[in-house]
Amino acid sequence: MDFGLNGKKALVCASSKGLGRGCAEALAGEGVDLILNARGAEALEETAKHINQTYGVDVKAVVADITSEEGRAKVLEAAGDVDILVTNAGGPPPGLWIDWDRDDFIAALDANMLTPIALMKALVPGMMERGWGRVVNITSQSVKSPIPALGLSNSARAGLTGYVAGTARQVAEKGVTINNLLPGIHATDRAISLDGGVAAKEGITIEEAKKKREATIPVRRYGTAEEFGAACAFLCSQQAAFMIGQNILHDGGGVNATL
């Protein structure tokens, strides 16, 4: 299927690795020019080079912390007008509900709620003026089904979800869609780090922690960044123009719910 995105330009945040990179590669495969971003220069440069050589699209790489005001300013200046925005950043650390203090919540809100909101505020008005735009926020299955150890993520992402629900319906008439893509467990560095935490806590190996987690997923495996990227590219497609303010699970059936 041709998604009708050839020649569009996308900013994909936090995209040197993992799910962000999966989204960037899938969009590049559709002929979309890219602005990529991460804090670490080495992996970012490698990813940018790989995507440029593999897909022949223009790729700009901006080293910056997307959760800081100055990092965002740097990325936005390099990006200019974009047609597609994929928001993403690292997830908050795991812990226990009673241990987090105000600073922990502020950091999580900054990274996983206020950063995507700031990016939308900066870029959606231009999309509305031009009459076309796509925003995909990478959130988490924790929005639909809380993950006990990830209370900071549960909280911050729920806030973003509320903002998107109201905002998406105010910009839709100008040809701009905003949707959230909710990953369940995917085989990325983040998953290895979460499995490492379980392994340390339960006195088992990382491989055993992974097997235990896989057994809880109906598909019995972790998702891949490529699969996730394909779902993101679809949400950005011309064909998805009637999907507004949705929260799409990409979780191998992990969330046990009827709706």
Which of the stretches 8-16, 126-134, 207-215, 230-238 binds ligand NAP when contact is defined by CB under 6 A?
A: 8-16
Q: Is 39 in the site for ligand NAP (CB under 6 A)?
A: yes
CB of residue 259 to ligand NAP, shortest distance in Å: 20
Based on its alpha-carbon atoms, the radius of gyration of the chain, rounded to whole angstroms, reads 18
d(C-alpha 107, C-alpha 125), whole Å:
27
Contacts of 258 (CB under 8 A, 6+ apart): none
**Interactions with ligand NAP, residue window 174-193 (CB under 6 A):** 183, 185-186, 188-191
Helix H or strand E encompassing 180: strand 176-183
Binds ligand NAP (CB under 6 A): choice among 2, 6, 7, 40:
40
CB of residue 126 to ligand NAP, shortest distance in Å: 22
**Interactions with ligand NAP, residue window 16-35 (CB under 6 A):** 16-20
Half-sphere exposure of 40 (CA within 13 A, CB side): 9
The residue (of 2 and 207) whose beta carbon lies closer to ligand NAP is 207
**Interactions with ligand NAP, residue window 51-90 (CB under 6 A):** 65-67, 88-90
d(C-alpha 107, C-alpha 152), whole Å:
9
d(C-alpha 66, C-alpha 146), whole Å:
25
Name 112's bridge partners.
none
**Interactions with ligand NAP, residue window 197-256 (CB under 6 A):** none
The residue (of 9 and 144) whose beta carbon lies closer to ligand NAP is 144
List strand residue ranges (DSSP E) for 41-98, in order: 59-63, 84-87
How many residues bind to ligand NAP according to rule CB under 6 A?
28
Binding mask 107-146 for ligand NAP (x = CB under 6 A): -------------------------------x-x------
Q: CA angle, 69 as apex, 67 and 75 as ends, to 5°? A: 80
Place of tokens 């231009």: 126
Query: Which residues contact ligand NAP by CB under 6 A?
Result: 14-20, 37-40, 43, 65-67, 88-91, 138, 140, 183, 185-186, 188-191
